Structure 1
């Protein structure tokens, strides 16, 4: 049963059967922008480069590692990025995530207490102009969805218009248990470094 969170909601990730959540994925799906030619007769596609990233912080809220398109695996190998998609879907929505970041909680080094996921539009395309841009945060693997925790409709969400960066959500450890804060907030940042700094200041 899917838990479709609203922004700002928090959930405990301990399962009803007493077992602990092991693996989560953040999947991002989007399309290239369709450009019309003279008189609207010919069309071309403008590539869109969205970048999902994960910032890891220790117990003291100090930044330890960032997994992104130039650093695909965390130092402890618990966070892995599927690789950089530079274009988006060129032939319409194929229903598949263009980028997926996987997080294995058991593999995180012991002092990691926060895993924050952010999204940036690398070339500065306004979120509102990117076809079917959406995010889903779920339990499972890149090829298997077990339970969805949160979904964000970026393309149609009025709050995302005029922005190129956002904070998706933060997994955090409290009393030895992992919980999830569904943030889903756009920021005024223009790149990953700025967005990570915003997370450090406002969302831990």
Structure 2
């Protein structure tokens, strides 16, 4: 059963029957907002390229990043499934995914922050049905979903993070904070307060 996460909400990644999740997938979906009216159709934006990234941190220090130009973390525990330059699922399926093998994440990495940015520079006013979701990759069960709501005149969002809680078990927190930037590098100053 999936949990709809509100901004700031946290969930444990312990299985309901006990035991820890081993492999999770963070999925991102979106589609271009439909413009209404004759002139809106003439001035419709080009296809929207949202990019999902995973930033691996040891404390407050970034130690690796997975994104469309670096598809696998240096240790192999995090893998991006590939760049989608147009979106279109936005109704349940994932347009981009990042798979995390929690059992292989190095012990010094204590949090992985997921971001989304509009590489083509359109704002979220031009995007609809955008979401991120966490899926148990071994069963296919959706564990949590966070809707990227509200449109807005920004080009990025710090979506969520998975982090080691007390006792070492993994947890997820929905962040849902708007930001500005076309790449994950642009977002680093906005990510820091959420570590």
**Which bin holds the TM-score, normalised by the shorter protein?**
0.7 to 0.9
**Matches for 1:37-56 after TM superposition, within 5 Å:** 46-56=46-56
Post-superposition offset of 1:77: 0.8
- CA distance in 2 between partners of 1:54 and 1:106 (Å): 17
Q: 1:45 to 1:69 in 2, by over 3 A?
A: same
Runs of 4+ more than 6 Å apart: 35-45
Question: Which residue in the other structure is 1:173 paired with?
Answer: 164
| 8 A Cα contact 1:117 1:168, kept in partner | yes
- CA distance in 2 between partners of 1:27 and 1:116 (Å): 13
SS at match of 1:197: helix
| 8 A Cα contact 1:65 1:74, kept in partner | yes
- In the alignment of these two chains, the number of paired residues is 194
Question: Which residue in the other structure is 2:82 paired with?
Answer: 83
- Unaligned segments of structure 1, at least 5 residues: none
| 8 A Cα contact 1:61 1:114, kept in partner | no
- Unaligned segments of structure 2, at least 5 residues: none
Question: Which residue in the other structure is 1:99 paired with?
Answer: 96
SS at match of 2:137: strand
SS at match of 1:196: helix
**Matches for 1:3-152 after TM superposition, within 5 Å:** 3-32=3-32, 46-58=46-58, 60-89=59-88, 95-140=92-137, 145-152=140-147
- CA distance in 2 between partners of 1:120 and 1:38 (Å): 29
- CA distance in 2 between partners of 1:120 and 1:42 (Å): 25
Q: 1:42 to 1:55 in 2, by over 3 A?
A: closer
Q: 1:21 to 1:197 in 2, by over 3 A?
A: same
Post-superposition offset of 1:47: 1.3
- CA distance in 2 between partners of 1:54 and 1:162 (Å): 23
For the aligned residues, what is the CA RMSD?
A: 2.6
Q: 1:56 to 1:36 in 2, by over 3 A?
A: same
Q: 1:128 to 1:41 in 2, by over 3 A?
A: closer
Q: After the TM superposition, which of the residue ranges 39-48 and 124-133 deviates more from structure 2?
A: 39-48
Normalised TM-score (structure 1): 0.83
